[in-house]
Chain A
Amino acid sequence: MSQSKGVSPPKNPPLELNREMVRGEFGLRVDELSGQKLYDCYQCGNCSSGCPLAQEMDILPSAMIRFAQLGQKDILLNSGTIWICASCFQCTVRCPKGIDIEAVMDTLRQLALEAGVDHFGPDEISPELAAEVPQPGLVGVYRKLST
């Protein structure tokens, strides 16, 4: 395995911007559920540069925040990023604008799971792993990645 395995360069689809995108229904819902002021983000990129899983992500954390500001529900809820984020809070402690980015990630996971489909279901774990992973790993993964 090379160190670059699983790395896909962030590809942000071109968006045609318009006024209605800003402070639209979806962006405000994420704002409210996460308790974060999304529109405070000035795209400094600190969250992305410190994220230990950035190289595994299709959309970087700072881009996730931008897409949220622009109400891009489909892009966000179909991203791989929400499922590979390990909830480590590195981004959260480094944001100069005091945004808890992990809370936004968690909110997006929750909204994606509202469709009722597990990202990682109970039948996907091998019996060997199920028998040895310490409980916080098991409880954590199912709380974050399944309905």
Chain B
Amino acid sequence: MAKVAYYPGCALKERSSHLDRSARDAALGLGFELDELETWTCCGAVPPVSSERVMNLIAPSRILKDVRDSGRKELITICDFCYNTLKRANYSIRNDEVIRKRVNAFLADDDPERTYLESDDAPWVDYDGEVKVLHLLEYLRDIIGFENLPAGLKNPLKGINIAPYYGCVMLRPEKEIKLDNPENPTIIDEFTRALGAGVVSFPYRTECCGSYLSVSSPDASTRLCYRILSSARANGADALVVSCPLCFYNLDSRQEAIAEAYPDFKPMPIFYFTQLLSLALGNGPEKQGFDMHCVDVSPILEKLDTPEAAEVGE
């Protein structure tokens, strides 16, 4: 089975482990393995913007250099923050000679300290941005092909209407990320359609959910999430599909606060795209970590007329 280098990032190893697990299951169902890097650190979550903060580029660059040194050319990641950080670090290294030199000077300096690595005598080679960073969705679109998904589905997601929510850092800034059109993205729409579900477009699909403000200004995030969810509802969505752990957290766990603030609000289940894919490929709901969700997803599973879905509801 084909193996592709995989960087899960901190959230997927712990608080968003259902995203990790459903992704691994889905990949196996499609005939490839997400092969987790042997050693990795946090990528730093937010890339440095200011030109003086080269230090914040070291962690993502080291991760990418290790992928290159292991002889691989591609790296899959799923968390939108990891994707953004790794991709932007790579962009800076590729396009800015001063940054490239400074980052490599740091990495070379640090290399002998990494005594936990199996020693090899390979000579030091600067990292020049050779690795291609791919979002799992991007891999599915460009390598597997969305058009090839339907043939392998055991349980196409018939009978439900899903609103794809893109958020911010998966698409922006456009110049560095180049995954899709930042104003009119289609990647999650096409993916969801390939799984057999109805796709609902809504005006707030690329509006920020509040990101890390859920820690420092939770009320602001609640207001943003209310706008997003009620707009999706008004356009006919039964549920939302997302790819980012922080989007998921904000949109799912804020619904209690939203319901308190806005009496007209009706809860809306949130899915990771990997859970939908894994379900459609025939893995049961018990494998999707739905017990980690705040909002009950069983009304949606019941609508899905599958044998597995009938068993849910505990």
Query: Interface residues, chain A, CB within 8 Å of chain B?
Result: 1, 3, 5-6, 32-35, 52-53, 56, 83-84, 86-90, 92-94, 100, 102-103, 106-107, 110, 119-120, 124-125, 129, 132-141, 143-145
Q: List 25 A-B contacts (CB under 8 A).
A: A1-B219, A1-B222, A1-B260, A53-B220, A84-B213, A87-B46, A87-B211, A88-B168, A88-B169, A93-B172, A93-B174, A94-B183, A100-B49, A100-B173, A132-B15, A135-B9, A135-B42, A136-B11, A136-B82, A136-B212, A136-B244, A137-B211, A139-B46, A141-B215, A143-B46
Check if B172 sits within 8 Å of A136, measured CB to CB. no
Name the contact of B208 in the complex, choosing from A5, A88, A124 (C-beta under 8 A): A88
The 5 closest A-B pairs by CB, nearest first: A88-B208, A89-B172, A140-B212, A136-B81, A1-B261
The residue of chain B having its C-beta at the shortest distance from the C-beta of A32 within the complex is B51
Check if B214 sits within 8 Å of A133, measured CB to CB. yes
Minimum CB–CB distance for A144 against chain B, Å: 6
Query: Interface residues, chain B, CB within 8 Å of chain A?
Result: 9-11, 14-16, 42, 44-46, 49-53, 56, 79, 81-82, 168-169, 171-174, 182-183, 206-208, 210-217, 219-220, 222-224, 244-246, 248-249, 253, 260-262
* CA gap between A101 and B37 in the complex, in Å: 35
Check if A139 sits within 8 Å of B42, measured CB to CB. yes
The A-B contact count (CB < 8 A) is: 152
Q: Chain B residues near A120: list those with CB within 8 A.
A: 215-216
Q: Chain B residues near A3: list those with CB within 8 A.
A: 223
Q: Chain A residues near B42: list those with CB within 8 A.
A: 135, 139
Q: Chain A residues near B168: list those with CB within 8 A.
A: 86-90
Check if B183 sits within 8 Å of A93, measured CB to CB. yes
Check if B16 sits within 8 Å of A134, measured CB to CB. yes
